[in-house]
Each structure stands twice: as C-alpha cells, then as structure tokens.
C-alpha cells in the first residue's frame, strides 16, 4: 500500500503546470515527508529487538554475575533469567574524596539489598528490599498478609532491549540499559540526603558526571562512577545558629565538588547461613526482624548474631572436629592490608589480625583467619571490590580507627569488612601510653616512640578493630574481672594480662607501680575473646535446627558464667559501674588511687619528655591536657558507683537476680574518695613550671571545671531519682540525704575549724550551694529519667531533702561567718547565706 500511494503522487506531479511547479514541489516534499514519517521499518518498531541487532560486533562484553556489554557510552546489563528474584547487596563506597571534609576513599556511604523482577510491557524492575517483617510459612495464608504490609520500593524500571535465548528458543536473559542509573544521582548508588546535607552538597551536575568503568565477576559487579555536585558553603554568622555540615575547601574554591564512588553489586548466598540466636550474655552485634507465623498467637522477633560463615570442607572433617581435632574451614577469613599503609607498620597490622588464630583454634578451627598484603599491580583486584575484606589506610588527622562489617540481613552472615585506619591514631596511642604507663615504662618517656613500641601499639589496635569485624561488641565489663592488686602482680600479668578481653576499652595498665616490675602493659586477646569466638563460631554438626543449636549454646553459656572472666559487660548500661570505658580493676577507688600516684610521677617530667629545640610548647600543652583528661576519667569512674545498679544478664535457668543495688559501703567509699582527691583541691595538678608555658587559665578555672562537672553529675536529677528508688527498697541502701550530707561535710570542712577558705574551695562551695538550690525545683519544671520513664522532680522527695540540707547549712554558715577572721572567707560565707535565704524564700 505504501508503494501505491507513492506512485500516484508521482503521476500527479507530472501533470502539474510549470507555473505551479515550485509551489507543488514544496507540497510534494511536505507530503512525502509526512508519508515517510508514517512508514515504520521493522528495525524502528518499539519493543525488544533481535539479540544480535542490539549486542553487535562493536560491543565490548564482560561475563560475570551480570554480563556487561559496552556500546560507546552505554552500558547494557544482561540479566540472566536465573538472577530474576535473587537478592543482591549493593555497597557504595567513596573511591576518592575532596580533601578537608572528614570523608575518605574506602569509606562506606550506602548499603541496600535489591532484586530484579519482571514488570509490565517487557520491562524489568529493580526493587530495594527492607527487612522488617518476615514469615517462614510461605505456603500459608499469613504470607499474603505479610506481603500486603511490606511493599518494596521500585528504584528502576528498564525496557527490555533484547532477549537472550538458548538453542531451544527459551529465554535465558534480558538486556537492559542501566546507564541512567549510574551516571545520574540515584540514591541507592549515591549519597544519602543526610550525607549531602552534612557536606553542604546541593544539585547534581549531570554534565560533569560519568561512569568511569564497570567490571563484572562471578558473584559481583563493580561500578565506578564520577559524580559532581554544586555546593553552598555554610555561612558564618554573628548570630549563633546550629551549623550543619562541612565547608569542603574545593567546594568553596570552585563552587562544585567531585566524588568518585564505587558500587559493588554482590549476590547474597543462595543457601542462607543458619541464624544463631542472639544472647545478651555474649557480646555480639545483632540483626533482627519481626516474624509472623501461622500458628503463633503474637508476632515474634527474630534476633540473631552477626558472624562469618565457617563450615567444614567435608563430612569427614566435621567428624574429625567433633572428635577434638582442629580442621581448616572451607573458606577462611582473609583481611588484606591497603598498599597505601606505610611499609614499616604493615607487619604489625598483619600480626594483629593473625593473633586471632588462637581464639579460632579454641573453637575447633585452624588457619581460620589471616592477614595478607594486597597484591599490587593485579588488575583483577580492586580495594573497593566487595569480595575482599581490606584494612584501608586514610591520610587523615583524625585520631581513630574503626571496624565495620557488611552482612546478610537475612541471617547475619558477614560477607566482607573494610576496616578504617586513620593516620593520626598513632598520636592518640602515644598520648594514652605515655600518660598511663610512663611511670613504669622508660620507653614511653619520649616525644616520639621508637618503631618497635609504636608497632606493638598498632598491633593492639589492629586486633581490637578486627574483633569488631568478627562480630564482637565492646566488652566494657571485662576489666572488672581482674582484682586491683592483681594488676600489680608481675606473674599474674604475664599469664593473664590486665583485662580478660581486647574488646574492652581497658587501654594500658595504669595501676602498676614502678616497684612492681610489671612489664606486660598492653591489652591482648584474652579468655573472654576465646570464649566469645567459640560461642559464635563453634560448628554444631548434630544440631538439626536453630532451636537445637540454641539449646546447646545455652548449656555452654551457663557453664561459662561460672568463670567471672568470661562474662560480657554491655557498653550501653548507664547505671552499672562495672561497665565503663578506660577503667581497670574491680574497685574504681583503689585503681584510681594508684593511677593518680603515677600521674604525680609523670607530671613533673612532661617538659623534658616533650621538648624539641626550635619548637614551641604545643606538644607540652597537648600532653598536659591528656594528663588532666586522665585524671578526669578517674573521677568519672568513681562517680558511676554512686546511685549504681549492677545489671547481670541471666536466663530463667540461672540462679540470682538480674539487678542489684551497689552496696552502700562502696557508694560511701566513692564519695569519700571524691572528697579527698578532687574536692580537697588537687593542687598537684597546678604545676606552675608547666602552666606558665602553656596556658594562663589552667589554674583556678581549670580546677573549677573538673569539680563542677563531677559535682553536677553527682547531684544530677537522674542519679538522685535512682537513689530515691533504691533506698526505698532497703533502708541500708545509700540515700539522697546521705549523699548530700557526705558531700557537705567534705566540701565545707573549714566550718569545723574556722580556717581560711581559699579561692578554690570558695568556688567549690558556691557550686555545691547552687546545685542544691537547683534541686528545689522552684518552677516545678525539672524532670529526670529512670528506666525509660520521665519523672517530675517536684513530685519526689528531692526538693524536700534539698530544702532541709540548705536550712542546716545556712545555720552552720551563719555561725562560721561570725567566727572566721579571714576577710574574704567572711564575705563568702555571708554571700552563701544570702543565696540560700533568697532560694528558700524568693518573695
């Protein structure tokens, strides 16, 4: 029909007059163009085309999890039919970052699970999956209810360009163009809105962004992209306002920032690992989701530990392990060391990784974990590749390191980990070690440590961070298992160390005294760590289900709890003084007393140990600040005993209570310690030879700051409410009235002797009075928190006790003001009387 119409048009044109030729020729062009527009050649029709027409000879193809075909600037993904519906973890990391923003190449910025599925009209959908509710009863009606309440968002809708077919004509794959998902700013493969806000990032700059490369491997596909964004630096205003984000220097200079990102698409295991039920008595990170079962009468919560999958290579190996023989796992845990790491530190980092071998042997595995140096110049490997676990070294002045992991949200199986290591962690280690151990270790008495000492410090941090990537949380209660006097016992320290777990924040042995001869001052993998690895990685060949495995683990845990060194102490308890950061021993008062003795030995030597010709005193100022910070920590360790509640996780089949009030004798001991070491002015901190060289305000106000912080903490509403609660249970328990009375006796001890009151004590006494006055809660607005409840202070005994304390103190102050002969002391006492009277009777 198209040919016939064209022939008639031609005949008509031949019959036209010459005069109308030009006009009709123009109409012919228009008419011909119109007809041509309606002509649809087979290759121009919408919908899938033959595979060979789409993936022609110009395509550059890579085979892998997803076959990738590059045609000019396009990247066509060939999604195999077997991949439809399979769950894929996407992990996006920075590859390169602008300087000065506190972000570094290698850091993770996004993680989601996605899956491809068939959509309408020959389209393929990409959905993001969120694990919130699940059901194990796939064949039951409740499955539909779960599906109706858990619709997953569509993040991509792709037209099928071609089908891949096998020899029998069955479809085996779908070719789609995913270029727009990676050269644009799709959140799943880019920064989250929160990250953009923190970095002051604004609109995406399409013309300055592109895909750098895409590589595919058997279980993963790696996408490297360059993304550019405009920025709007936060303005500095004279009006105080909350500042959101960081002004990236390149953004300030150029108005845009460019980031290089790597997204790994990693296929989740086709055979999910068996979950291991989480147990509060053992410190593992956990994942969870709600479970709805057909026969259950309520929704259950499945909470499971995060850990690597270790399995025997064969049934024979499993039997050998069961008989007590160590076996190698089918797939060991391997951590690679970033080639950007300074060469002299690499062996120490590797040793820190390898130190965990002994713990895995305790669980029945040999050669289960090892550190490896990154094979440089190997084009098949990438530091961002999600198949590899890597310790990444960051050129950053941040004094820190961290150990995350990427795990399967369905089961808790750890798939890989990228440990972050900041260059300036060495500065932090130097300060910690010098301030905590220089009294007993001559090697710590230098501005710069020798390579061997610094290497051993790096080894300790490496082991700690690797422990996190194995699934272990901080065990802040481990150090409490060591009696204080054993911290001074050389033989005990050689055998056991100063803490039962390297996952504690126990740092270094600050209790050992110079005369003790203790040289084992570092944390190391201890008894708890070995037990925790056994709990997480023991293989139960005979257990047929999660419940059977849980029963076996419960028996193991009950037996372990007979040994105090195997207890776990959570990092999240606000009340338990046994679970603290940076503390040592089973008695904070005794341990802190020894620690202060060592600080007094160290302080006079700081100038000598920090000096360098031609340099200013900034190094001295930093070390002095670290020493004062260590003293502050001791005060905090002691303070937590007041109003403390011991929290020991237990199950029904264990004896004893979960919660116990810290004995009154210990709370009283804590307040007595604070009266002696802090409220009786610690003038030894005021070394004028140092203060004159660093900071003139390191005297009166500095001491006041430490005292204010501790006193405010002691008299905080939350702590006072706990004391009200616990003292009501038993009259022998420490009370609010006892606390205020004990503090008053120590802070106002001059009232008994009518001695002059110096400026430090005058400041302290004012702080005490102001804190007690605030407890009156005159406006009845103050609240406190206890056990997740908000409690109005005015409805408790706290204002009554505070009023009684003020009345007693006022009477004492009046007498003392008449008897004290020191002029400033008299003024001070009369001022306190006036403040109290105004508080008791505001009108």
- Using 50, 70 and 90 to split pLDDT, how confident is the model at 18? very low
- Asked if residue 777 lies in contact with residue 800, where contact means CB atoms within 8 angstroms, the answer is no
- Asked if residue 649 lies in contact with residue 658, where contact means CB atoms within 8 angstroms, the answer is yes
pLDDT for the residue numbered 506: 94
Does the pLDDT value for residue 256 go beyond 70? yes
Does the pLDDT value for residue 294 go beyond 80? no
pLDDT digits (tens, 9 = 90+) for 741-781: 999 999 999 999 999 999 999 999 999 999 999 999 888 88
Element (H, E) at 372: strand 369-373
d(CA 226, CA 212): 6
d(CA 798, CA 778): 12
Does the pLDDT value for residue 269 go beyond 50? yes
Q: Please give the full DSSP string across 389-458, using - where no structure is assigned.
A: EEEEEE------EE---EE-TTT-BEEE-EEEEETTHHHHHHHHHHHHHTTT-GGGSSSS--HHHHHHHH
- Using 50, 70 and 90 to split pLDDT, how confident is the model at 12? very low
Does the pLDDT value for residue 11 go beyond 70? no
Task: Please give the share of the chain, as a percent, with pLDDT higher than 70.
Answer: 90
The dihedral built from the CA positions of residue 783, 787, 789 and 792, taken in this order, carries a sign that is: negative
pLDDT digits (tens, 9 = 90+) for 545-604: 999 999 999 999 999 999 999 999 999 889 999 999 999 999 999 999 999 999 999 999
- Using 50, 70 and 90 to split pLDDT, how confident is the model at 3? very low
- Using 50, 70 and 90 to split pLDDT, how confident is the model at 134? low
**DSSP structural state of residue 525:** -
Task: Please give the share of the chain, as a percent, with pLDDT higher than 90.
Answer: 76
Residue 379 class from Cβ within 10 Å (0-12 exposed, 13-18 middle, 19+ buried)? exposed
How much is the average pLDDT of 8-23?
Answer: 40
DSSP bridge pairs for 62: 68
* Residue among 266, 269, 267 nearest 413 (CA): 269
Residue 785, φ and ψ in degrees, nearest 5: -115, 135
How much is the average pLDDT of 74-92?
Answer: 95
pLDDT for the residue numbered 357: 98
- Using 50, 70 and 90 to split pLDDT, how confident is the model at 139? low
Distance of CA 814 to the CA centre of its chain: 54
d(CA 559, CA 349): 34
Q: What is the pTM of this model?
A: 0.88
3-state helix, strand, coil in the chain (%, to 5): 40, 20, 40
Does the pLDDT value for residue 200 go beyond 90? no
Structure tokens at 405: 């992991």
The full set of domain ranges for the chain reads 2-44, 61-265, 315-423, 472-540+553-586, 588-696, 715-843
Does the pLDDT value for residue 220 go beyond 80? yes
How much is the average pLDDT of 134-159?
Answer: 76
d(CA 703, CA 687): 12
C-alpha dist (Å) from residue 735 to 575, 642, 725: 16, 10, 9
pLDDT for the residue numbered 807: 97
- Using 50, 70 and 90 to split pLDDT, how confident is the model at 86? very high
pLDDT for the residue numbered 349: 97
Lowest mean pLDDT among 10-19, 242-251, 530-539, 628-637: 10-19
- Using 50, 70 and 90 to split pLDDT, how confident is the model at 221? very high
How much is the average pLDDT of 236-244?
Answer: 46
Q: Which residue has the higher pLDDT, 243 or 811?
A: 811
Residue 472 class from Cβ within 10 Å (0-12 exposed, 13-18 middle, 19+ buried)? buried
pLDDT digits (tens, 9 = 90+) for 28-43: 444 444 444 454 555 5
The per-residue pLDDT of the chain, averaged, comes to: 90
């Amino acid at each position: 029909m198209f040919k016939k119409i064209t022939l008639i048009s031609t005949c008509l044109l031949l019959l036209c007059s010459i005069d109308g030729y030009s006009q009709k020729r123009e109409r012919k062009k228009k008419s011909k163009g119109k007809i041509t527009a309606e002509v649809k050649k087979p290759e121009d029709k919408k919908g899938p085309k033959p595979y060979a027409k789409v993936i022609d000879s110009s395509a550059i193809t890579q085979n892998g999890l997803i076959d990738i075909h590059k045609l000019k600037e396009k990247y066509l993904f060939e999604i195999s039919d077997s991949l439809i519906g399979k769950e894929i973890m996407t992990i996006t990391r920075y590859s390169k970052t602008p300087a000065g923003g506190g972000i570094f190449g290698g850091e993770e910025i996004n993680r989601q699970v996605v899956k491809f599925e068939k959509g309408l009209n020959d389209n393929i959908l990409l959905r993001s999956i969120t694990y919130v509710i699940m059901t194990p009863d796939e064949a039951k009606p409740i499955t539909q209810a779960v599906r109706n309440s858990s619709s997953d968002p569509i993040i991509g809708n792709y037209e099928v360009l071609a089908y891949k077919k096998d020899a029998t004509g069955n479809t085996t794959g779908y070719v789609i163009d995913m270029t727009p998902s990676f050269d644009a700013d799709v959140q799943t493969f880019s920064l989250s809105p929160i990250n953009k806000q923190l970095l002051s990032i604004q609109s995406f700059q399409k013309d300055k962004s592109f895909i750098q490369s895409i590589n595919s491997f058997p279980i993963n596909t790696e996408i490297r992209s360059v993304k550019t964004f405009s920025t709007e630096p936060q303005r500095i205003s004279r009006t105080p306002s909350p500042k959101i984000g960081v002004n990236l220097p390149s953004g300030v200079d150029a108005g845009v920032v460019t980031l290089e990102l790597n997204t790994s698409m990693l296929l989740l295991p086709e055979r999910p690992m068996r979950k291991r039920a989480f147990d509060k008595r053992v410190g593992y990170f956990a994942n969870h989701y709600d479970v709805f079962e057909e026969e259950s009468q309520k929704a259950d919560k499945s909470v499971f530990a995060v850990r690597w999958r270790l399995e025997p290579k064969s049934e024979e190996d499993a039997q050998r392990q069961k008989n007590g023989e160590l076996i190698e796992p089918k797939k060991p845990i391997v951590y690679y060391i970033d080639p950007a790491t300074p060469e002299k530190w690499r062996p120490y980092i590797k040793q820190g990784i390898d130190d965990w071998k002994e713990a895995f042997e305790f669980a029945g595995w040999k050669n289960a974990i090892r550190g490896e140096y990154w094979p440089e110049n190997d084009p098949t490997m990438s530091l961002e590749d999600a198949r590899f676990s890597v310790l990444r070294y960051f050129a950053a002045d941040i004094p820190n390191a961290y150990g995350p992991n990427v795990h399967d949200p369905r089961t808790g199986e750890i798939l890989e980990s990228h440990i972050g290591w900041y260059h300036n962690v060495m500065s932090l280690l130097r300060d910690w070690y010098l301030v905590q151990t220089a009294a007993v270790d001559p090697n710590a008495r230098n501005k710069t440590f020798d390579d061997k000492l610094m290497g051993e410090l790096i080894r300790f941090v490496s082991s700690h961070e690797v422990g996190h990537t194995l699934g272990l949380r901080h065990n802040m209660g481990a150090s409490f298992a060591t009696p204080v006097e054993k911290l001074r016992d050389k033989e005990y320290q050689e055998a056991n160390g100063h803490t039962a777990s390297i996952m504690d924040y126990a740092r270094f042995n600050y209790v050992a005294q110079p005369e003790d001869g203790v040289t084992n001052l570092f944390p190391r993998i201890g008894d708890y760590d070995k037990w925790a690895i056994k709990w997480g990685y023991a293989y139960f060949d005979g257990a047929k289900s999660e419940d059977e495995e849980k029963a076996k683990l419960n028996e193991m845990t009950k037996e372990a709890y007979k040994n105090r060194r195997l207890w776990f102490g959570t990092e999240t308890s606000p009340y338990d003084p046994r679970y603290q950061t940076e503390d040592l021993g089973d008695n904070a008062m005794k341990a802190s007393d020894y620690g202060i003795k060592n600080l007094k030995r160290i302080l006079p030597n700081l100038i000598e140990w920090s000096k360098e010709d031609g340099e200013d005193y900034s190094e001295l100022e930093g070390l002095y600040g670290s020493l004062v910070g260590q003293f502050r920590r001791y005060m905090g360790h002691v303070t937590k005993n007041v109003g403390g509640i011991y929290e020991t996780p237990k199950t029904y089949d264990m004896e004893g209570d979960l919660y116990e009030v810290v004995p009154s004798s210990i709370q009283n001991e804590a307040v007595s310690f604070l009266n002696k070491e802090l409220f009786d002015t610690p003038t030894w901190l005021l070394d004028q030879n140092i203060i004159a060289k660093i900071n003139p305000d390191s005297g009166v106000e500095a001491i006041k700051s430490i005292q204010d912080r501790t006193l405010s903490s002691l008299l905080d509403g939350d702590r006072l409410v706990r004391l009200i609660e616990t003292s009501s249970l038993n009259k022998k328990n420490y009370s609010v009235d006892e606390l205020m009375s004990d503090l008053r006796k120590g802070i106002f001890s001059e009232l008994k002797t009518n001695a002059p009151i110096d400026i430090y004590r005058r400041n302290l006494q004012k702080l005490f009075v102001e804190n007690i006055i605030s407890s009156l809660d005159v406006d009845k607005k103050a609240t406190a928190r206890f056990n997740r409840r908000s409690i109005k202070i005015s409805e408790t005994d706290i204002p009554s006790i505070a009023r009684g304390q003020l009345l007693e103190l006022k009477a004492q102050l009046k007498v003392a003001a008449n008897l004290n002969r020191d002029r400033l002391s008299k003024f001070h006492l009369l001022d306190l009387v006036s403040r109290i009277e105004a508080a008791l009777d505001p009108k």
